[in-house]
Amino acid sequence: MILRSVLYASLVVLFALHNDLWLWHDASNWLGLPAGFAYHVLYCLAVSGLMFLLVRYAWPSLLDEN
């Protein structure tokens, strides 16, 4: 139950982190890409990782699986 809550909270935090205001005017490069672009590519990877944890550890337990 605690893990489930932590994962749900992580989802909210990750949603908030979508708004990367600190990179708004950043013209530097990360991994050969503009910082504001690279951030959102990495963001997609992070979302996929969190989704993996959600389906692994916070799967709705009372669903009809048959």
Partner 1 sequence: MTLFVIAIYFALVLLVSVLSHRLFRGTGEDYFVASRTIGPFLLLMSLFGTHMTAFSLLGASAESYHIGIGVFGLMASSSAIVAPAVFFFIGIKFWSAGKRNGFLTQVQFFRSRWESDLVGLLLFVILVAFLIPYLLIGVMGGGVTLHQISGGSIPEWLGSLFVCAIILFYVSYGGLRGTVWANTFQTLVFITLGALTFVIILRSLGGLTQALEQVRESHAFLLVRGEHIQPLTHLSYAFIGLSAGMFPHISMHWLTARSALTFRAPIVLYPLCIAVVWIPSVLLGVVGRISFPDLHGPEANSILVRMIEVHAPEVLAGLLAAGVLAAVMSSLDSQVLAVGTMFTQDIVRHYGFHDRMTERQQILYGRIFIAAIIGVAFLLSLVSNRSIFKLGIWSFTGFAALFPIAAAACYWKRSTAAGVIASIATVAVLWLGFFLHGWQTPGYTVANTGLMPVAIILPASAVALVIGSWLSRPPSTAALTRFFPDS
Residue ranges that bind partner 1, judged by CB under 8 A: 11, 14-15, 18-21, 23-27, 29, 32-34, 36-37, 39-41, 43-45, 47-48, 51-52, 54-55, 59-60, 62-66
Per-residue DSSP letters for 4-53? HHHHHHHHHHHHHTT--GGGTT---EETTEEHHHHHHHHHHHHHHHHHHH
Q: To the nearest whole angstrom, how small is the minimum distance from the Cβ of residue 28 to partner 1?
A: 10
Q: To the nearest whole angstrom, how small is the minimum distance from the Cβ of residue 2 to partner 1?
A: 19
Q: To the nearest whole angstrom, how small is the minimum distance from the Cβ of residue 3 to partner 1?
A: 15
Is the distance from CB of 64 to CB of 10 less than 8 angstroms?
A: no
